[in-house]
Amino acid sequence: MLKFAELQTATAAALESYYETARKLSEQHFGKTLKVYYPGRDFPSVSITGSFCAQNCLYCNKHYLQQMEALTTPEKLEAFAFNLARRKGKGLLISGGYNTEARLPIEPFLPTLAKIKRETDLILNLHPGLVSEEQAKAFAEIGIDEISFDLVVNDEVIQKVINPNLTGKDYLRAYAALKNAGLKVAPHIMLGLFFGEMQGEIEAVKAAFSFDPKLIVFLALIPTKGTPMAAAPQIAPAALGKMLVFTRMNRPEIELSLGCMRVRKREYETIALKAGINRLAVPKHETLAIARDKFEREIIKANYCCTID
């Protein structure tokens, strides 16, 4: 296994060599395609709690809930979903604020989700938080298509940024419950979650390996106005590049994506291309030109979340 310390101490020339190796491994396993994703009107994000969240993570502080469609009753969710289906939408990302146990209070909505799956062709991507075994089994029985799971395993990061009463074991227990229920899980790993510093991300990647995911989604902290992390530094693009190289060279069969939750700078996207990224959410036009002209990528576009095949 490539050790992350080797990347940390690599010279600029050595790092370029690592990028090339990672990119070639990506091409060997997935060809020269780049999948790009544009969720939005055809695949909206909805919050079943509106702008309410009991957890108030320091990096979000309810800010991102306000950008979602507020559907706070099963009736509202059903009407919205069936209207989306009638206008040939693709699906929904179902999220919202968490309770004090870091779970989405989804139980009242389960019959509605089951009806949506029975009576429409919509894809349901659920962002449920730290689920129990019973919840995971219920999701599987409904036929939820995808689980987007925030994977954090470093205790200090969890307790100082997310929830003081949780540990990495709680996240691993929830992931195992989802996996054991037979659900398709896409772990999401945020870089710089610890006040803009890199801490615990390699632990999270290694933990993801143990669950044999088909895809890992990387995110990067957005220092957001109105949150306690507004003044946090942005991670260096090289930090993303090294994380992608580490993941690819140790598990080349896993697809890698750069998700929506990140600072939208071309530097991040360019270094992701250099490291052989497979999927990009909402890339810049300049990035697509670089992908085609420099890296000879065939661009495949889709109007839904980057976790969806």
d(CA 174, CA 132): 6
CA torsion 49→55→56→60, rounded to 10°?
Answer: -70
Query: 305 in a domain, yes or no?
Result: no
Query: 205 in a domain, yes or no?
Result: yes
Summarised one tens digit per residue, pLDDT across range 217-262 is: 999 999 999 899 999 999 999 999 999 999 999 999 999 999 999 9
- Whether the CB-CB separation of 224 and 190 falls below 8 Å is answered with no
Query: 306 in a domain, yes or no?
Result: no
The pLDDT score that the predictor gives to residue 55 is 86
Query: 268 in a domain, yes or no?
Result: no
The residue type found at 117 is K
- Domain count along the chain: 1
Query: 29 in a domain, yes or no?
Result: no
d(CA 136, CA 130): 10
Name the stretches of the chain with pLDDT < 50. Answer: none
pTM listed for this prediction: 0.96
Query: 18 in a domain, yes or no?
Result: no
CB atoms within 10 A of CB 122: 17
β-pair type (91-95, 69-70): unpaired
Query: 103 in a domain, yes or no?
Result: yes
Burial (Cβ within 10 Å: 0-12, 13-18, ≥19) of residue 131: buried
DSSP state letters, 158-212: IIIII-TT--HHHHHHHHHHHHHTT--EEEEEEETTBTTB--SHHHHHHHHHTT-
The pLDDT score that the predictor gives to residue 66 is 87
**Residue 156 belongs to what domain range?**
42-257
Query: 9 in a domain, yes or no?
Result: no
The pLDDT score that the predictor gives to residue 63 is 84
In the sheet that holds 45-47, the strands lie side by side as 69-70, 45-47, 91-95, 123-126, 146-150, 185-191, 215-220, 255-258, 279-281, 33-37, 298-302
CATH code: domain of residue 248: 3.20.20.70
